[in-house]
Structure 1
Amino acid sequence: MFAKLFTIEEAKKVETDPLLSERLDAFVSRFGRLQDTVGEKLLPALLSALAETLGPAIDNLDKAEKFRFIESSDGWLEMRRLRNQMVHEYIEDLVVLASALRNGHAFVPTLVAAARRCVAEVERLLGATS
């Protein structure tokens, strides 16, 4: 789907191209699921394991940035905004959809790296308790 630039013209094809539609759904779903799992489950659990007091999501993101589990709390919020655009603007505004998909795709390495850093920290903590 991202072998070439995802444009408004590509977005228009989603309604008539079942394979493209399936790929789009898969990307949006996986991006959202990974972002939700790391941000709403893994980061709070990891912070809690480090005896950090949990607070509102933005405070937890700031702590996660301090521990270098994520690159930037602002970047994380941007990924969240893009996730919402991909889900809620789906087909309604092709300009927004195409832009959100391109930007979301650009964030994939950042998201995966954050997940890997969190998993590495969990493994480190588990090793320390063994």
Structure 2
Amino acid sequence: MQDTIGDRLIPSLMRDILETPGSTLDNLNRMEKLGILAAVSDWVEARNLRNRLVHEYMRDAEEFASAVNRARECVSLLISTYNNILDYAARQLEPPDGYMWPERLV
């Protein structure tokens, strides 16, 4: 979900509001300024955790369990970011004829 939001949804929103997407970090900083993302640092921390879980082989069971629990806590960050993007788009953009905004996630 983080890849989809960061790599697709945020750049798409930026184009829709007539801004030029930049690097991932630039885009995240812009989302923070728009009030869509609470803190870029939280997003980067979640991204680093994701990369660690996906690309590293953890031999310590306690360390792995701790990382999984932290990842679980990141779910609320992803859901709130998605909902904030949806809310922002609904306020700022006119949907095409016949289009209904998706429902918020809970």
TM-score range, shorter chain: 0.7 to 0.9
Distance 1:98 1:89 in 2: 14
Aligned counterpart, 2:4: 37
Whichever of the two has the greater Rg, that structure is 1
Q: TM-score, normalised by structure 1?
A: 0.65
Amino-acid identity (%): 34
Structure 1 residue 112, shift from structure 2 partner: 0.4
Which deviates more from structure 2 when the two are superposed, residues 92-101 or residues 46-55? Answer: 92-101
Matched, 1:89 2:56: yes
- Partners in 1 of 2:78 and 2:85 — Cα distance? 11
**RMSD of the TM alignment (CA)?**
1.9
Tell me the matched-pair count. 96
For structure 1, which runs of at least 5 residues remain unmatched after alignment?
1-33
Once residues 122 and 60 of structure 1 are traced to their aligned partners in structure 2, the CA distance between those partners, rounded to angstroms, is 16
Q: What is the letter of the counterpart of residue 77 of structure 2?
A: T
1:89 touches 1:96 (CA, 8 Å); kept in 2? no
Partner of 2:104: none
Match of 2:82 in 1: 115
| Aligned mate of 2:68, from 101, 119, 124 | 101
1:54 alignment partner in structure 2? 21
Amino acid at match of 2:94: L
Which residue among 77, 101, 106 is the counterpart of 2:44? Answer: 77
Q: Give unmatched runs, 5+ long, in structure 2.
A: 98-106
Offset of residue 96 of structure 1: 3.6
Deviation, 1:90, is 4.7
1:51 and 1:93 map into 2 onto residues whose CA distance is 47
Residue of structure 2 aligned with 1:64, choices 31, 35, 47: 31
Give the Å deviation of 1:85: 1.5
- Name the one with the larger helix percent: 1
| AA matched with 2:81 | A
